[in-house]
């Protein structure tokens, strides 16, 4: 492994264990591949890559358990490193792209993709950008290093989205929006804009704001998938639903 790759992976491992609130809930291990064709809809897989995750998988072996280093405010990064049996010149000439999938159970959803091309650094290093797809909020870079033996080391780094937030207004004796779809790990904040008190009370008892006066707010983070019905404890006609998935 060359010194640039060693440095990049060391930095990534250090940051990986210091996760911003809610980030880990968004991101499960992501299968990644080199595909033929171009983003956003590349073709067949030509080389599988190690899953991209906070475990920093190197050729199928996770680096979990490393001690965090540096500042706790470091931006978390998911990564993988894979040696593929293709020379860099072959990869570049073949019109390929690197694609990162949502999860092993959802290979049809792409979260980031980058066409392989650009300016090489030195004799055999090629960095490329990985752009966000399908509203994932995830983006990153890949670094391809030619090993001069017919193989290429492909390092993929993904910066996950920051903690997701959503807002619900309480006004006119109603929750707006009355139906909200959010991702796992999203924090929802309710604001009472009415002149009377309201509550935000889950039907299953999982959250309850208590009485909110005008201008009062209440926040709750949804860490599990499901459908959550809620209502106002003072006004039984005020009902709404949040779907998490």
Are residues 23 and 95 located together in one domain of the fold?
yes
Are residues 26 and 70 located together in one domain of the fold?
yes
- pLDDT score, position 7: 34
Contact 51/31 with Cβ under 8 angstroms?
Answer: yes
User: For residue 89, what are the CA distances in angstroms to 17, 73, 124?
Assistant: 35, 38, 9
End-to-end CA distance of the chain: 39
Task: Check residue 6 and report its DSSP letter.
Answer: H
Are residues 112 and 9 located together in one domain of the fold?
yes
Q: Can you read off the two tokens belonging to residue 190?
A: 């309710």
Q: Can you read off the two tokens belonging to residue 56?
A: 């920093």
Question: For residue range 67-117, what is the model confidence (pLDDT) as tens digits?
Answer: 667 886 677 788 999 999 999 999 999 999 999 998 888 899 899 999 999
CATH number at residue 171: 2.60.40.420
Q: Can you read off the two tokens belonging to residue 237?
A: 């006609």
Closest CA to 200 of 178, 185, 182, 226: 178
Are residues 210 and 151 located together in one domain of the fold?
no
Q: State the burial class of residue 230 (Cβ atoms within 10 Å of its Cβ: 0-12, 13-18, 19+).
A: buried
Are residues 10 and 66 located together in one domain of the fold?
yes
The pairing of strands 179-182 and 201-202 is unpaired
Are residues 107 and 138 located together in one domain of the fold?
yes
Q: Which domain holds residue 70?
A: 3-159
Number of structural domains in the chain: 2
pTM above 0.75, yes or no: no
Question: For residue range 120-164, what is the model confidence (pLDDT) as tens digits?
Answer: 999 899 999 999 998 788 899 999 999 999 999 999 999 877 667
Are residues 74 and 116 located together in one domain of the fold?
yes
Are residues 90 and 109 located together in one domain of the fold?
yes
């Amino acid at each position: 492994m060359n010194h640039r790759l060693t440095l990049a992976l060391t930095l990534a491992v250090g940051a990986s264990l210091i996760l911003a609130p809610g980030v880990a809930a968004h991101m499960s291990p992501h299968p990644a591949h080199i595909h033929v064709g171009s983003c956003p809809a590349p073709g067949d897989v030509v080389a599988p890559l190690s899953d991209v995750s906070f475990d920093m998988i190197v050729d199928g072996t996770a680096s979990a358990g490393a001690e965090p280093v540096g500042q706790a405010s470091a931006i978390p990064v998911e990564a993988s490193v894979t040696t593929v049996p293709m020379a860099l010149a072959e990869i570049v000439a073949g019109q390929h792209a690197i694609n990162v999938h949502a999860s092993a159970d959802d290979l049809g959803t792409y979260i980031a993709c980058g066409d392989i091309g650009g300016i090489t650094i030195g004799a055999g290093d090629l960095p490329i950008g990985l752009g966000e797809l399908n509203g994932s909020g995830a983006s990153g870079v890949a670094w391809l290093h030619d090993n001069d033996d017919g193989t290429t080391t492909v390092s993929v780094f993904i910066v996950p989205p920051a903690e997701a937030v959503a807002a619900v207004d309480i006004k006119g004796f109603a929750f707006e929006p009355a139906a909200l779809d959010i991702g796992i790990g999203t924090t929802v904040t309710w604001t009472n804009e009415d002149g009377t008190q309201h509550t935000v009370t889950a039907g299953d008892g999982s959250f309850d704001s208590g009485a909110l006066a005008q201008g009062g707010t209440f926040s709750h983070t949804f860490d599990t998938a499901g459908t959550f019905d809620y209502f106002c404890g003072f006004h039984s006609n005020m009902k709404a639903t949040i779907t998490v998935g």
